[in-house]
Amino acid sequence: MRTLALALSLLAFALAAPGLAAAQDVVIDTHVHLHKGEASIGDYRAQLKAKGQSVAAFGAMWFGGPNQALAGNPERIRANNDALIALAARHSGMIAIATVHPYDGAAAIAEVERVAARGVKLLKIHPHTQRFDAADPRVLALVRRAGEVGLIVVMDNANIVANDNENLFNLALQAPKTRFIFAHMGALNFRFWNMLALARTAENLFADNVYFDISATVLIAADSPIEDEFVWTIRNVGVDKVLLGSDFPQMSLPQTLDALDKLDLTEAERAQIRGGNARKLLGLD
Ligand SMILES: [Zn+2]
């Protein structure tokens, strides 16, 4: 009964403030791979249309699948970044996620500066597929520079490399002026990130510069024995720090939204995760 009363008062509020209600419905997918370039955008949109799902914006990256962005070929990486920026200009709602390889050193730093000047907001680097060590000093130099030029650094955090959580945590501490998005929130090792609730209590340690996407992991956690711990982790890292990602084409946005709906979060918390947090972080208002 209390639920019904609450629903009715929310409905009355939504009718009185349609702009706000619409804003709460915003869905932003921060994790899309274009394995097939522009054709993947069509596939992505078709998948959404089939489920009647709309998306306000989606962050898309070139690499993954056949495009591994390995070290030693910065010209190829630059060309791919330019192709991605051109695609984003043609497809409304698409946000380009550029990449570089940290071991390309000065060329990688120059590319970070160049894409930032071209309006790119997100940079993805991936220790596993790009075969680099997140603890390497070239990674720290790169992410520091990325932060200085206003880029948000997305890193894979699926824990398929050794010391993944520990390396990323220390990287975030050493680059306090850079904002990070750790994709998959540690996957099955997500419990580590409850540490952030304690890190915040240590004086001058943690700059609260870490966001997470819960792509893939949310599918495993929903309606599972670990769901309560997963929700507890989301609250400890900060609900305002959690973003939605599909990891298309491996996973779909509709199945990710279904999984999010199953989590025992409040509707307001789910709305933040669906798009409110990403809107603020990416300045989409
Ligand atoms: Zn991915």
What residue type is assigned to position 241 of the chain?
K
Report the CATH superfamily, name and number, of domain 26-281.
Metal-dependent hydrolases (3.20.20.140)
The token pair at 52 is: 């009647």
* Confidence (pLDDT) at 15: 43
CA of 215 to the centre of ligand 1 (A): 8
For ligand 1, the distance from its centroid to the CA atom of residue 271, given in whole angstroms, is 22
Specify the pLDDT at position 68.
Answer: 75
Q: How far is the CA of 206 from the centre of ligand 1 (A)?
A: 26
| CA 243 / ligand 1 centre spacing (Å) | 14
When pLDDT is cut at 50, 70 and 90, the band that residue 24 belongs to is low
For residues 213-246, b (16+ Cβ closer than 10 Å) or e, as one string? Answer: bbbbbbbbbbeeebbeebbebbebbbbebbbbbb
| Assigned token pair, 243 | 């973003």
**Residue 192, SS3 per DSSP:** helix
Q: How far is CA 170 from CA 60, 131, 137, 167, 208, in A?
A: 27, 19, 12, 5, 13
**Cα of 195 to ligand 1 centre, how many Å?**
24
State whether residue 164 is helix, strand or coil.
helix
Whether the CB-CB separation of 123 and 94 falls below 8 Å is answered with no
Average pLDDT of the segment spanning 15-23? 46
Q: What pLDDT score does 178 carry? A: 98
pLDDT of residue 66: 59
Q: Is the pTM of this model over 0.85?
A: yes
- Which structure tokens are listed for 8? 């009715």
Q: How far is the CA of 31 from the centre of ligand 1 (A)?
A: 6
Q: pLDDT tens digits, residue range 42-101? A: 999 999 999 999 999 999 998 665 567 889 899 999 999 999 999 999 999 999 999 999
Domain boundaries, the chain: 26-281
